[in-house]
Amino acid sequence: MTATRVLIIDDEIKLAQSLAFTLRQAGMECSEAHNGHIGCSQAKREQPDIVLLDIRMPGMGGLEVLEWFQAEMPDVSVIMMSAFDDTKDAVTAIKMGAVDYLSKPFDVDELILLLEETNARRQLVAEIQYLRERYSNDATFIGNSPLIQNLREQIDRLSEGNAKTLLLSGETGVGKAVVARELHMRGSGKEVPFVEINCATLPENQIEAELFGAERGALPGLVSKRRGLVEIANGGTLFLDEIGEMPLAIQAKLLTFIETRAYRPVGMMRDHKSDVRIIAATNRNLEEAVEEGCFRQDLFFRLNVMPIQIPPLRERELDIELLALHFARRFADEVATPPIGFDKSTRSFFASYRWPGNVRELKNLIERLTILHPGQVISIDQLPSEIRNVEPKVPLSIEDSMDNVERNMIQDALVKCRGKKGLAAERLGISRHALKRRMQRLGLS
C-alpha cells in the first residue's frame, strides 16, 4: 500500500521539522514548507494526500492558502492548525472546506489517527467516484425482453412521483444498485448526492455511526467528528443495499428517521434533520424475515410502499446476447483491443445457462474472456470449465411462462396503484386475499 503523503505548511520551522520526523517514523511520507507561497508551489510538485496548514502565518495566511487549495487542488484534504484557540477562525476554515481544525499543542498519537482516518476517507471517496464513472452506464436496461420493458415502465412511472421510500427486490447480481442509480438520476439528477451503503459489510457497532454520524470521542479511536451518510445524502438519495442484514436495533432508528426525517448522531444530545429519498434493496424474502423475527414488520411495511422486483437474467433470454456484446465492447475499449465475439455454440450455451450470478456473473465472464482471448471469436471450449460443466436450465414450461406473465401483471398493478394491494386487487379483478396468495406463490414481497 502506498504511504500517505503529508505536506506541513507552518512558519514555525522547528515544530514543522519535529512533526515531519514523527510522521515519517509512523510510516508516512512527509515534507515541509515554511510559508504559504512555497507551500502552494511544493504542493503542485509533490501532489500530497493531506496538508497540515497553520492558520496564522506572515505573508500568505492559512485561510488564503486554504482558498488556493480549494480552487487549484480540491482533492487534497486540508487540516488546519493554530496555537490560538479562535472559534471564529475554526468555523471559517471548516466552511471553506477544511476537513478538521486542531489547536496546538496537540497529542501526536491523536494526530496520526486523524491522518489515517482522513486518508482512508479520501481513498473511499476516490473509489466511489471511480465506480460511479465506470458503471454509470451499466447494462441492466439493455434488452428487449418483456420483463425489462416492464421494468423500464415501472421506473418511468415512479420517477414521475414523489415517493420517499422504495424497495428493490431481486437475486444477487441482477442490478439493484443500477436501478437505484437510475431512479435517483430520473428523480433528482446529477447535482444532488447519491450515497450507497451495504448493510452487510459493516459491524453492528459501526453501522449506526456510519449512517447517522458520531461526535468526536463517542467511539474508540474516533478523534474527529464523523458525518453520517444521512447528512451527506441530504437533498438526494440514500441507497441501503442488503437492508435485510441490518441489525434490529438500527432498524428501529432507521424507521424513526424515515417517519420524522430526524436523527441523532452517536454521542450527541440534540436531533438533526435531513431530507433524503430512501431506496432499500434486498435479495432476501423480507416477509419471511419478519416471520422469523429478524426484520421489523413496521419497517417492512414502511419500505414496501413502492416495491420493484428485478427479474433474474435467466428469465431474460432475449437480452443475454445483447448484454454480452455490450460488455465485450466496453471491456475492449478499456484495454484498447478489438472486442471478442461469440460463435453459434457459445450463443446457444449462453441462452441455456442458468446464470446464478445474473448480470454481474455475465459481466465478469466477458471481462475475463476479453483479457484471455482479446479480439477472438469465443467458442464453447474457451469458456471456463466451472461454467461449461453446469447442467443447462430446463426450458420454461407453460406453467412457468404463465407465472412470468402473472408476475408482470401484478407488479404493474402495484406500481400503478402506488403499492396499495386492495386497489391493485380490484384493478386485476381478484380479491385482496387472492392477490396475497398469488404474490406469496410467485415470490413477490
- What residues contact 10, with CB distance under 8 A and at least 6 apart? 16, 19, 32, 34, 52, 53, 54, 57, 81
CA neighbours closer than 13 Å in the CB half-sphere of residue 168: 28
Give the pLDDT confidence score for residue 422 in this predicted structure.
83
**60-99 residues labelled b (16+ CB within 10 A) or e (exposed):** bbbbebbebbeeeeeebbbbbbbeeeeeebbebbeeeebb
**Apex 389 CA angle, 387 and 395, nearest 5:** 85
Task: Identify the CA nearest to 362 among candidates 335, 389, 336, 384.
Answer: 384
C-alpha–C-alpha distance, residues 134 and 201, integer Å: 22
- At residue 7, the 3 state secondary structure works out as strand
The yes-or-no verdict on residue 181 having pLDDT over 80 is yes
CA distances (Å), origin 240, targets 180, 226, 275: 10, 19, 15
C-alpha–C-alpha distance, residues 197 and 392, integer Å: 35
Average pLDDT over residues 396-421: 71
Per-residue pLDDT band for 188 (boundaries 50, 70, 90) equals low
Average pLDDT over residues 330-353: 92
Per-residue pLDDT band for 133 (boundaries 50, 70, 90) equals low
C-alpha–C-alpha distance, residues 97 and 113, integer Å: 20
The yes-or-no verdict on residue 127 having pLDDT over 70 is no
Average pLDDT over residues 187-200: 81
The yes-or-no verdict on residue 282 having pLDDT over 70 is yes
Give the pLDDT confidence score for residue 429 in this predicted structure.
82
Give the pLDDT confidence score for residue 218 in this predicted structure.
77
Give the pLDDT confidence score for residue 395 in this predicted structure.
54
C-alpha–C-alpha distance, residues 270 and 188, integer Å: 29
- C-alpha cell read off for 332: 475492449
Task: Identify the CA nearest to 313 among candidates 302, 324, 304, 325.
Answer: 324
CA distances (Å), origin 399, targets 311, 318, 406, 442: 17, 19, 10, 12
Per-residue pLDDT band for 128 (boundaries 50, 70, 90) equals low
Dump pLDDT digits (tens) for 413-443. 777 777 788 888 888 888 887 888 888 777 6
What rounded mean pLDDT belongs to the chain? 86
Among the ranges given (118-132, 231-245, 266-280, 421-435), the one the predictor scored with the smallest mean pLDDT: 118-132
Determine what percent of the chain is predicted with pLDDT higher than 90.
Answer: 51
What is 387-406 written as a DSSP string? Answer: HHTSPPPPPPPHHHHHHHHH
Alpha helices in 136-225 (DSSP H): 146-160, 176-187, 204-212
The yes-or-no verdict on residue 135 having pLDDT over 70 is no
The yes-or-no verdict on residue 343 having pLDDT over 90 is yes
C-alpha–C-alpha distance, residues 227 and 117, integer Å: 13
CA distances (Å), origin 404, targets 141, 348, 359: 18, 22, 19
Burial of 291 by CB count in 10 Å (0-12 exposed, 13-18 middle, 19+ buried)?
exposed
Alpha carbon 101 to its chain's center: 28
Give the pLDDT confidence score for residue 198 in this predicted structure.
92
- C-alpha cell read off for 71: 480552487
Q: Would you identify the CATH topology of the domain 313-388?
A: Helicase, Ruva Protein; domain 3 (1.10.8)
The yes-or-no verdict on residue 327 having pLDDT over 80 is yes
Average pLDDT over residues 247-259: 94
Give the pLDDT confidence score for residue 165 in this predicted structure.
92
Among the ranges given (49-58, 80-89, 198-207), the one the predictor scored with the smallest mean pLDDT: 80-89
C-alpha–C-alpha distance, residues 380 and 370, integer Å: 15
Give the pLDDT confidence score for residue 50 in this predicted structure.
94
Q: Would you identify the CATH topology of the domain 162-309?
A: Rossmann fold (3.40.50)
Per-residue pLDDT band for 401 (boundaries 50, 70, 90) equals low
Dump pLDDT digits (tens) for 35-61. 999 999 999 999 999 999 999 899 899
Higher pLDDT pick, 246 / 441 = 246
- C-alpha cell read off for 1: 500500500
Give the pLDDT confidence score for residue 445 in this predicted structure.
58
Domain assignments of the chain as residue spans, ordered by start? 5-131, 162-309, 313-388, 398-442
Give the pLDDT confidence score for residue 397 in this predicted structure.
56
Among the ranges given (29-43, 155-169, 251-265, 282-296), the one the predictor scored with the smallest mean pLDDT: 155-169
The yes-or-no verdict on residue 320 having pLDDT over 90 is yes
Average pLDDT over residues 204-230: 82
| Residue 214 region by backbone torsions, left for phi larger than 0, else alpha for psi between -120 and 50, else beta | beta
Identical fold for domains 5-131 and 162-309, yes or no, is yes
Q: Are 300 and 336 in contact (CB under 8 A)?
A: no
- What residues contact 119, with CB distance under 8 A and at least 6 apart? 4, 49, 50, 77
C-alpha–C-alpha distance, residues 26 and 24, integer Å: 5
Q: Are 73 and 43 in contact (CB under 8 A)?
A: yes
Q: Of 1.10.240.10, 3.40.50.2300, 2.60.40.10, 3.40.50.10860, which CATH number belongs to 5-131?
A: 3.40.50.2300
Average pLDDT over residues 267-283: 92
The yes-or-no verdict on residue 189 having pLDDT over 70 is no
Give the pLDDT confidence score for residue 302 in this predicted structure.
93
C-alpha–C-alpha distance, residues 40 and 69, integer Å: 8
Higher pLDDT pick, 121 / 26 = 26
Give the pLDDT confidence score for residue 132 in this predicted structure.
55
